[in-house]
Amino acid sequence: MNNKINWGSIFLSGVVWALVYSTLAAPLLFIFLGESYIEELKTMGHSINLSMDVVVKLAIFGLIFIVSWGVLTIWLYVVIRPNYGDGTKTALIASLVVWLLSVVAPLSHLAVFGVASLYFSITHIIIGLILIMTATLIASKQYKN
């Protein structure tokens, strides 16, 4: 196995990750948490005013964030391959690390401190695992040395 990192391939695989994640996230989060998102934000003292300005800011931030998240996830997959080998097992390990740090840690804190409901947090944690694992499994297959 070549230990040299192909940054172009990491970026392209990260974009694939972002596309898979985003495509699945919209329907899953809407189906299971649609109204809960709005209610949770109201509980935290934030109401959503979906003006064009807000939508544009959210779209730009979302695009940058999701692609960065995907690139970092694929980078992690690539750097742990020398220890775990290519393939599904390594993609799942990378997925679990990313999921624990970026979904479980923040949402569990929100639930424990009563900022978000237990239902919202647990549902989002489960959906996050499905999304991150699926996106990583598909995008990791795109990576080429």
* Residue for token pair 């996050």: 128
pLDDT attached to residue 46: 65
pLDDT attached to residue 126: 93
* Residue for token pair 């569990």: 108
| 24-28, 38-42, 60-64, 104-108: range with lowest mean pLDDT | 38-42
* Residue for token pair 């509980």: 43
- SS3 label, residue 114: coil
Better-scored residue on pLDDT, 81 or 51: 81
In this prediction, residue 50 has a pLDDT band, given cuts at 50, 70 and 90, of low
Helix or strand run (H / E) with residue 33: helix 7-43
In this prediction, residue 29 has a pLDDT band, given cuts at 50, 70 and 90, of confident
